Amino acid sequence: MNGIIDLPLWQLVAAYVFVLILLVIVRIKGISREKEILIASVRMTLQLVLTGYLLVAVFGHPSPHYTVLILIAMELFAIFTIIRRTKAKLSIQLKKVIALSMVSGTVTCLLYFLFVVVRISPWYDPQYFIPIAGMIIGNSMTGISLGVARLADGMQTKKHLVEGALMLGATPKMAAKTIVDHAFDAAILPTINSMVGMGIVFLPGMMTGQILSGTSPVTAIEYQIAIMLGILGSVALTVILFVQLGYKTFFNREKQLVNLDD
Amino acid sequence: MFELSDVTYKDILTIDHLRLEKGRVTCIVGESGSGKTTLLRLLNKLISCDRGTITYQGQDILDLDAVLLRRSVVMLPQNPAIYPGNVRDNLAIGLAFAEKLPASDERLRQALAQVNLNKDLDAKSDLLSGGEKQRLALARLMLLEPDVYLLDEPSSALDENTERLIIEALVAAAKDNGKTLIMVTHTRQIAQAYADRTIEISGGRIVSDREARS
């Protein structure tokens, strides 16, 4: 091992050359996306720098309060992002279901992962708790976002099929089954696809980060396998909870389709 | 069978009193937008009235489980849902929705014959014409053998000849089995030829209610 190559500030700035090249290409091709690329790059940098300082502070003074506070902030950010990203109009009940499935699904998986698989001590150790929570919550957020979009869109565009089924005596569960199944598929497929290509098509970010920071590839792979299974479990659990509770919000007590425009 | 008292639904339909008897063919006529479909949807409990009461077999439909009611009082909309798959899948899905035992291919073919639809059970349903889809949906409904058929313009996509054949078969099947048929139709001739009773709705109100001359 040659040790870790520290990245001085000017070398980090050199990485922005790629953004400049991209901006030039975009300008030449007449694709009007310069503003978005620039904002995304600056935003990412600022967010990561701030997170870096925050993590240094939290790691320096481990406390259960800070760990729990950061967990709550991540959950809230994820829930608001899912709601904001969805173009379809969402009912209050569906928003509640999003929050409930996100929190219960991710927290259950996180606790299992930290206390049964990794067995961290103390339980709030931020060095493990925060990055693992971030990966589990982030991936579940993407999964639910896709599930919400597919469910809301399906209930709108296939309304006549759902209502047609109700007219024939179907329960709301039967009437919405195809839409619920499609929403589940859409939400879980990206995670499954990324697992299939892992190690062959690409090296996952967490593993690459660990290797670059000097950890043995074997240890990095062990962590990667464990975290991927944790992510799969969390995405599956949050999405199952979401679709199973979510479709019910489109029906009222009389098993009639709710009109969102009312 | 059904009794409606002081029923109001938004500003679409107002019915002071209406009684629909068991085992009869009732046709509902009226211009489009007059509230005919809304009446069928109220009876199928797809929507609930804002005011008044609707009873089915003496019980307020608010006290009845909507799914059980819809299995007894089945509705066919004007543009019926056709599900992905073939003709067989579309016939079988109705029985599955109503949690009834699956029917044999022979029984499914019989249902198709009843609606004069000469199609293979393996034929793709999305390749059917509008009229064929309407008949397929009607065959699916007849397989369910409900107590009440609520039909919203069941022959709107059919030519005159097929329309007559289908309605004749439908009315005969209902009468033979003591079923109740409540049918919205735009064709007054159909109402005159087959209805025991014709109700005309205009502007959300019943404007005439005539028994058929025997």
| CA gap B58, B46 in Å, rounded | 19
Sequence-distant (≥ 6) Cβ neighbours of residue A46 within 8 angstroms: none
For residue A17, give Cα distances in angstroms to A12, A47, B11, B109: 10, 20, 65, 70
Identify all chain B residues contacting A181, using CB atoms and an 8 Å cutoff: none
Is residue A258 within 8 angstroms of chain B, CB to CB?
Answer: no
- Over chain A, what is the mean pLDDT? 90
Who among A160, A169, A175 is closest to B98 (CB)? Answer: A169
pLDDT band at A88 (very low <50, low <70, confident <90, very high): confident
Residue A63 pLDDT > 90:
yes
Contact at CB, A170 and B144, closer than 8 angstroms: no
Angle at the Cα of B200 (from B195 to B203), degrees rounded to 5?
155
Q: How far is CA A27 from CA A15, A17, A19, A35, A44, in A?
A: 20, 15, 12, 11, 22
User: Residues of B with CB below 8 A from A166's CB?
Assistant: 46, 66, 70
Residue entry with tokens 């870096």: A52
Three-state SS string over chain A comes to CCCCCCCCHHHHHHCCHHHHHHHHHHHHHCCCCHHHHHHHHHHHHHHHHHHHHHHHHHHHCCCHHHHHHHHHHHHHHHHHHHHHHCCCCCCHHHHHHHHHHHHHHHHHHHHHHHHHHHCCCCCCCHHHHHHHHHHHHHHHHHHHHHHHHHHHHHHHHCHHHHHHHHHCCCCHHHHHHHHHHHHHHHHHHHHHHHHHHECCCECCHHHHHHHHCCCCHHHHHHHHHHHHHHHHHHHHHHHHHHHHHHHHHHECCCCCECCCCC
Contact B94 A168 (CB under 8 A): yes
Query: pLDDT band at residue A186, thresholds of 50, 70 and 90?
Result: very high
Chain B residues within 8 A of A165 when measuring between CB atoms: 81, 93, 97
pLDDT tens-digit readout, A132-156: 999 999 999 999 999 999 999 999 9
Q: Which among A161, A166, A171 has CB closest to B46?
A: A166
Note the pLDDT tens digit of each residue in B25-43. 999 999 888 999 999 999 9
Nearest to B82, CA basis, from B153, B143, B149, B135: B135
Nearest-angstrom CA–CA distance, A250 and A235: 23
Residue of B nearest to A174 (CA): B97
- The whole-number pLDDT of residue A251 equals 96
Cβ distance B77 to A163 less than 8 Å, yes or no, reads yes
pLDDT of res. A1: 45
Q: Would you state the pLDDT for residue A256?
A: 95
The pLDDT of residue B61 is above 90: yes
Collect all residues from B whose CB is shorter than 8 A from any CB in A: 44-48, 62, 65-67, 70-71, 74-77, 79-81, 83, 93-94, 96-99, 140-141, 144
B113 — pLDDT class (breaks 50, 70, 90)? very high
Predicted local confidence at residue B165, as pLDDT: 82
Rounded mean pLDDT, A147-166: 94
Segment B120-173, tens digit of pLDDT? 999 999 999 988 999 999 999 999 999 999 999 888 778 888 888 888 888 888
pLDDT > 70 fraction of chain A, expressed in percent and rounded: 97
Measured between CA atoms, the residue of chain A closest to residue B63 is A254
Q: A202 vs B4, which has greater pLDDT? A: B4
Summary mean pLDDT of chain B = 91
Contact call for B77 and A161, based on CB within 8 A: no
- Measured CA to CA in angstroms, residue B113 lies from B85, B136, B139, B161, B194 at distances of 20, 10, 9, 16, 21
Residues of chain A contacting B91 with CB distance shorter than 8 Å? none
Q: State the pLDDT at residue A129.
A: 93
Q: How confident is the model at residue A260 (pLDDT cuts 50, 70, 90)?
A: low
Scan residues 136-175 of A and list those with Cβ closer than 8 Å to B: 160-161, 163-171, 174-175
Give the nearest partner residue to A164 out of B62, B80, B144, using CB atoms: B80
Please report residues of A whose CB lies closer than 8 A to that of B93: 165, 168
Residue A92: pLDDT over 70: yes
| A171 to chain B: closest CA residue | B67
**Facing residue for A168 by CB, picked from B48, B66, B98:** B98
Cα–Cα dist B187/A222, whole Å: 74
Contacts of B81 in chain A (CB under 8 A): 160-161, 163-165
Q: What are phi and psi of B97, to 5 degrees?
A: -60, -40
Q: Tell me the pLDDT band of B213, cut-offs 50, 70 and 90.
A: low
